[in-house]
Amino acid sequence: MEKLSEPYTIQYPQIVAVADESGERVELIEFFDCLGGAMWVKRHYAQSPLVHSIRTVGATNRYILQVGDADLALEGSIFPAGIAAVAVDGGEIAISYRGLGGGGVGASICRASAPGVARYQCDPAGGGRLAGSTIWLPHRERVIIGIDDTDTPEEGATWTLAHNIARAVETEHSRYLSHTIVQLYPVPYRTKNCVSIACEFATSDADELIRSYHDYLEEYTLSDETGMAAWRGFDPSPLEEFGRRVKLGEVSFNELAALDDRLSIIMDGRGVIGAVAAIPFYTRFEEALALWSGSG
């Protein structure tokens, strides 16, 4: 029988965070390996005063947090663990966790030892004691890259190319978070299914990330009409109206000129319309995949 090196510790595979432009809101993204533990956290951490929402996306729990400090009235079984402080300071985002018993193990060493943590302070944990940790994460921004029209009727698939490039450009400074396929209105000049792709990253080097992605896309696209766009910002909802119109019907290239200046057009082939339209639907999979009728 193989000996367990740490029988009472589960290391989170990765933790990253992005802050909004004001420094008042943070999205904390915790990759998990233990599904049961992640669902326990989702239920109980939602009670923390600083937690606006928690949702599960793939193998991650994603928290929208308010910057500040909070007293946690922890109580076994009822409110056994939570987030006690959130701070944005220059190049770092600090998150403080507190928990009781097994919840204290999760709130301390399980997170403190995770890849992505720059430094930490951590209490001894286990048994019935109160324990916690503060972790400092690199201050990253959200970048969402949209692409469309990379294939031909004979070969290629945009969704696979988008994912493979996203994996290739991932570095310690730029973490690949999500991949969303967005069903668009089936225009006559589509290849077949008329979908575009949004790839989401948390990065501390947005310029290099976008440049590297562009280089790969130019190298491997099979189409002369490839579109690529990049959004830099916490919330891409200013693009939502445009995205809805592209899902409902045909949209002209001229309508791109009026969009938000946080959007950059990187490759301006015909596919850029779908590329931009994909961005606001990132991680909204049910809406993204729906084929809308064109009537509302």
Nearest to 177 by CA among 160, 159, 201: 201
Give whichever of 2-6, 34-38, 123-127 has the largest mean pLDDT: 34-38
Element (H, E) at 213: helix 206-220
Q: Over 70: is that where the pLDDT of 189 sits?
A: no
Across 152-178, average pLDDT: 92
Q: Over 80: is that where the pLDDT of 193 sits?
A: no
pLDDT of 295 reads 46
Cα(146)–Cα(216) distance, integer angstroms:
14
pTM: 0.94
Cα(273)–Cα(184) distance, integer angstroms:
10
Across 238-252, average pLDDT: 91
Element (H, E) at 43: helix 35-45
Q: If you ran DSSP here, which 8-state letter would residue 100 be given?
A: E
Residue 42: what are its φ and ψ, rounded to 5°? -60, -40
pLDDT of 124 reads 82
- In the chain, the percentage of residues whose pLDDT exceeds 70 is 96
Q: If you ran DSSP here, which 8-state letter would residue 3 be given?
A: P
Across 270-281, average pLDDT: 95
pLDDT of 156 reads 78
Element (H, E) at 179: strand 174-183
pLDDT digits (tens, 9 = 90+) for 206-241: 999 999 999 999 999 999 999 999 999 999 999 999
Across 275-295, average pLDDT: 90
Cα(294)–Cα(271) distance, integer angstroms:
20
End-to-end CA gap in the chain: 61
| Identity at 115, one-letter amino acid code | P
CB neighbour list of residue 88: distance below 8 Å, 6 or more residues apart: 19, 23, 24, 26, 67, 94, 139
Across 32-52, average pLDDT: 97
Q: Over 50: is that where the pLDDT of 142 sits?
A: yes
Q: Could you give the residue ranges of the DSSP H alpha helices within 97-205?
A: 102-107, 109-112, 158-169
Q: Over 80: is that where the pLDDT of 66 sits?
A: yes
pLDDT digits (tens, 9 = 90+) for 114-138: 999 999 999 888 777 898 999 999 9
Considering the chain, what is the average pLDDT of its residues?
93
Across 144-153, average pLDDT: 89
CA distance readout (Å), 68 to 24, 26, 30, 89, 107:
9, 11, 19, 12, 18
pLDDT band at 192 (very low <50, low <70, confident <90, very high): low
Work out the angle between the directed axes of helices 158-169 and 206-220 (0-180°, nearest 10): 140
In the chain, what are the domain boundaries?
14-138, 141-289
pLDDT band at 4 (very low <50, low <70, confident <90, very high): very high
pLDDT digits (tens, 9 = 90+) for 51-65: 999 999 999 999 999
pLDDT of 41 reads 97
* Both structure tokens of 25: 């809101």
Give the fold, CATH level 3, of 141-289.
Alpha-Beta Plaits (3.30.70)
Please report the beta strands in 33-170, taking only residues with DSSP state E, as ranges in sequence order.
51-57, 60-66, 68-69, 81-89, 92-100, 119-122, 130-138, 141-148
Cα(266)–Cα(213) distance, integer angstroms:
10
C-alpha 86: how far from its chain's center?
Answer: 19
Nearest to 50 by CA among 93, 82, 80, 19: 82
